[in-house]
Each structure stands twice: as structure tokens, then as C-alpha cells.
């Protein structure tokens, strides 16, 4: 199971701020097909990047099978990427 609790991601440029995700909480059950949909700029890619540990949330926790991904060290992040998640990039060039 994937569980997100209070997940937020803020991008900053100078004194400007963009909240890509704001206090997102949800659960995705193991074995259930889930689609993430929304308008352009709604945070879909940011959410996937956080779940794949390509980025870290500014707030909240992401648990996969009970393991808190937000607390993993660099070595464990690499192991998770190698064995726990598969990522297919939309643009790979």
C-alpha cells in the first residue's frame, strides 16, 4: 500500500512561491490500478516524482508498505529505486 499523509511540495524562485501540492493525503491499495488525472499544472508529475523519490516533499510523509520513504538515507533511496519502483519517463531525450 502507498499512503500519503499531509504531503506538500513548494517550488521557490527568488521571493516567489508555487505550491505544487498542498497537504495531500490519500491511500493506494496494493493490487489496485490507479490513474492520476488532472489539468496541466495540477501537480501530477510532482506527485509521481515524490513517490519515486526523485524529489522530496517539503511537508508530510509517504509510506510504501509501512516504510516511511521521507526518512530514508541516500543508500536506502538508491535501493528503493532499484528494487521497489519502476519509472518510465514521458520524455527521455
DSSP annotation string for the chain: -EEEEEEEEEEEETTEEEEEEEEEEEEE-TT--------TTSSHHHHHHHHTTSS--SEEEEEETTEEGGG--HHHHHHHHHHT-----S---
**Mean predicted confidence (pLDDT) in 16-41:** 93
Read off the pLDDT band of 14 (50, 70, 90).
Answer: very high
pLDDT tens-digit readout, 59-89? 999 999 999 999 999 999 999 888 888 887 7
**Mean predicted confidence (pLDDT) in 9-24:** 94
**Model pTM score:** 0.85
Q: Is the pLDDT of residue 27 over 80?
A: yes
* Domains detected in the chain: 2-83 (3.40.50.300)
Return the pLDDT at 85. Answer: 85
Amino acid at each position: 500500500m502507498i499512503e500519503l499523509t499531509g504531503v506538500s511540495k513548494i517550488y521557490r524562485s527568488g521571493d516567489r512561491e508555487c505550491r505544487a501540492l498542498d497537504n495531500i493525503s490519500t491511500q493506494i491499495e496494493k493490487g489496485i490500478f490507479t490513474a492520476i488525472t488532472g489539468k496541466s499544472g495540477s501537480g501530477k508529475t510532482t506527485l509521481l516524482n515524490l513517490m519515486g523519490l526523485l524529489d522530496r516533499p517539503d511537508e508530510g510523509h509517504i509510506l510504501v508498505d509501512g516504510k516511511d520513504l521521507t526518512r530514508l538515507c541516500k543508500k536506502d533511496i538508491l535501493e528503493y529505486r532499484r528494487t521497489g519502483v519502476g519509472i518510465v519517463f514521458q520524455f527521455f531525450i
